[in-house]
C-alpha cells in the first residue's frame, strides 16, 4: 500500500515543484533598463561651387542656310555648245570659272555689222569735215553781213551735229553687240557649289531663263533659335561690341566632342513663328571643310549651337536640380551646420542657374535630400564617415 501511494503522489509532487519553480523565476527575472537616445546628425553629400570670373553661354538649335545663293540666268538667247567641267550638281566652281557657253556666231556677226556701221559713220563725219572747210572759205568771202543763225547754217553746223550723233549711235550699237557677245559665256560670280542644273549641251536657252542654282562656299549661315530671355546673356550684335564666338556641333554626323567655330553676325528683327523664339544669324567660314578635317556643314542640317555671352567678374553656375523651394540652396557652413540660403540669381537657364552670392568661401553645397531640414541643424559628411571606416 505504501509503495502504491508513493507512485500516485510522485507525479503530483513533480508538477507542483515545476509550477513553484517557474513562478519563482518569473518573480525574480532581471529588468532591462531603457537607454537614453542621443540625436544622430543626418549624413549628407556636398560639392564645391567655385566662384570666380564666368563667361555666360546660351544654348540654341539652328538650321544651316546658304549665306550667298542665286538662280543663274542667261542674258541672251541661243543654243548651249559647252558646259564647264565643274558645272554639274554638287560640283565646286571658283569665282570666274566658265560654267557654260552659248553659240556665239550670231553675236559675232552682230559685232562685225556694228563695227561696219561705226566705220561708215566715221567716214561720213570725215567727208563732212571737208565740206565744212569749203563752207568756211565761202563764208569768209561772202558772209560779212550774216547774223549768228545764218552763219551757223552756212558753216553746216546742223549737218555736222547729225553725223556726230549717228556716229555715237553706231558706237553704242557696237558696244551693245560686244556686250551680248560677252554674255554668251557664263561664269561663276563667286566661289560656289552647284545645287541644281537645269540645262544640257545642245539645249536652247532664252534670256531670263533659270539655268542653275548656286550656293556660295566661302561661308554658310546658321539660323539659331533660342528663348528671348536668353538674349540677356549675350552681347548685342551690331552694338559696336566684339562679335560673340559660337561653337556649332552636329553630334549625329560628327560624334560627341567635335565642333566648328563661328561668330554671331546679327539678330534678326522678327521672332520665329511657331515657338516665338528669337533668331540669330551665325556665320561659319569654309563650311564644306575644303581643308579635309571631315566636319563638313551640309545645307539644311539641324545643329546644336553654343553662343559665348557676357563675362561676369564673380559668379558660379549651379545645376537646377540643387535648387530647393523658392529658389533656395542648402549650404554646409564652416561650423558643419546646414544653412538655408536665398542666393541672387542673375541668369536662369534650362539646365543651370547663375548666382552671384549665397555661398561664402569655405562653404559647400549640400546635394542630399533631407526630410524636415532646419536652418542650423547639425549634419555629417558622408565622405568623412567613409574615411573613418
Cell numbers representing residue 289 in the block:
571643310
CA 39 to chain CA centroid, nearest Å: 57
Element of type H or E holding 185? strand 185-187
CA geometry: angle 270, 217, 208, nearest 5 deg: 80
Contacting residues for 375 by C-beta, under 8 A, at least 6 apart: 338, 339, 340
Element of type H or E holding 311? strand 302-319
32-36 — which CB contacts under 8 Å span 24+ positions?
none
Three-class DSSP category at 312: strand
CB 90 within 8 A of CB 194: yes
Cell numbers representing residue 110 in the block:
552682230
d(CA 48, CA 362): 9
d(CA 331, CA 350): 22
Q: Is 376 left (phi over 0), alpha (psi -120 to 50) or beta?
A: left
Q: Report H helices in the chain.
A: 2-27, 105-142, 148-154, 157-182, 251-254, 382-388
d(CA 71, CA 357): 56
CB 131 within 8 A of CB 115: no
Provide the residue-wise pLDDT of the chain in tens; the chain has 389 residues.
666 666 666 676 777 777 677 777 766 766 655 565 555 778 888 988 888 888 888 889 999 999 999 999 999 999 999 999 999 999 999 999 999 999 999 999 999 999 999 999 888 888 887 877 777 776 667 656 666 776 667 667 788 888 888 889 999 999 999 999 999 999 999 999 999 999 999 999 998 889 999 999 999 999 999 988 888 888 776 655 568 899 999 988 888 888 999 999 888 988 988 888 999 999 999 998 876 767 889 999 999 999 988 888 888 889 888 898 878 998 988 888 888 888 888 888 778 888 888 888 778 898 888 888 888 888 888 765 545 44
Nearest C-alpha neighbor of 260 from the set 271, 248, 277: 248
CA geometry: angle 166, 169, 170, nearest 5 deg: 85
Nearest C-alpha neighbor of 365 from the set 348, 381, 345, 349: 381
Q: What is the pTM of this model?
A: 0.70
d(CA 215, CA 70): 7
CB 235 within 8 A of CB 310: yes
Nearest C-alpha neighbor of 288 from the set 194, 225, 187: 194
Amino acid at each position: 500500500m505504501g509503495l502504491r501511494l508513493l507512485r500516485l503522489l510522485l507525479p503530483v509532487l513533480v508538477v507542483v515543484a515545476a509550477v513553484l519553480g517557474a513562478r519563482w523565476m518569473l518573480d525574480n527575472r532581471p529588468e532591462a533598463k531603457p537607454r537614453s537616445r542621443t540625436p544622430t546628425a543626418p549624413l549628407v553629400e556636398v560639392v564645391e561651387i567655385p566662384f570666380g570670373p564666368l563667361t555666360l553661354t546660351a544654348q540654341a538649335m539652328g538650321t544651316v542656310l546658304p549665306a550667298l545663293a542665286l538662280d543663274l540666268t542667261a542674258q541672251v538667247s541661243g543654243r548651249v555648245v559647252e558646259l564647264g567641267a565643274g558645272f554639274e550638281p554638287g560640283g565646286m566652281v571658283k569665282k570666274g570659272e566658265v560654267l557654260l557657253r552659248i553659240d556665239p556666231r550670231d553675236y559675232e556677226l552682230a559685232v562685225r555689222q556694228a563695227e561696219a556701221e561705226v566705220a561708215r559713220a566715221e567716214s561720213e563725219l570725215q567727208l563732212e569735215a571737208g565740206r565744212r572747210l569749203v563752207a568756211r572759205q565761202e563764208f569768209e568771202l561772202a558772209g560779212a553781213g550774216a547774223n549768228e543763225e545764218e552763219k551757223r547754217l552756212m558753216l553746216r553746223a546742223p549737218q555736222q551735229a547729225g553725223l556726230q550723233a549717228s556716229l555715237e549711235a553706231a558706237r553704242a550699237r557696237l558696244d551693245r553687240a560686244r556686250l551680248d557677245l560677252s554674255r554668251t559665256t557664263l561664269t561663276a560670280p563667286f566661289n560656289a557649289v552647284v545645287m541644281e542644273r537645269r540645262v544640257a549641251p545642245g539645249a536652247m536657252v532664252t534670256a531670263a531663263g533659270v539655268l542653275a542654282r548656286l550656293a556660295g562656299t566661302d561661308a554658310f549661315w546658321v539660323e539659331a533659335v533660342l528663348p528671348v530671355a536668353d538674349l540677356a546673356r549675350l552681347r548685342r550684335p551690331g552694338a559696336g561690341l566684339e562679335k560673340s564666338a559660337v561653337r556649332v556641333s552636329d553630334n549625329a554626323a560628327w560624334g560627341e566632342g567635335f565642333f566648328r567655330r563661328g561668330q554671331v553676325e546679327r539678330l534678326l528683327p522678327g521672332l520665329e513663328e511657331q515657338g516665338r523664339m528669337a533668331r540669330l544669324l551665325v556665320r561659319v567660314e569654309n563650311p564644306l571643310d575644303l581643308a579635309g578635317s571631315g566636319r563638313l556643314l551640309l545645307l539644311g542640317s539641324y545643329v546644336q549651337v553654343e553662343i559665348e555671352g557676357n563675362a561676369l567678374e564673380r559668379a558660379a553656375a549651379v545645376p537646377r536640380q540643387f535648387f530647393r523651394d523658392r529658389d533656395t540652396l542648402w549650404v554646409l557652413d564652416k561650423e558643419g551646420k546646414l544653412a538655408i540660403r536665398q542666393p541672387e540669381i542673375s541668369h536662369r537657364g534650362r539646365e543651370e542657374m547663375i548666382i552671384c552670392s549665397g555661398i561664402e568661401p569655405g562653404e559647400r553645397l549640400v546635394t542630399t535630400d533631407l526630410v524636415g531640414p532646419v536652418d542650423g541643424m547639425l549634419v555629417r559628411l558622408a565622405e568623412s564617415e567613409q574615411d573613418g571606416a
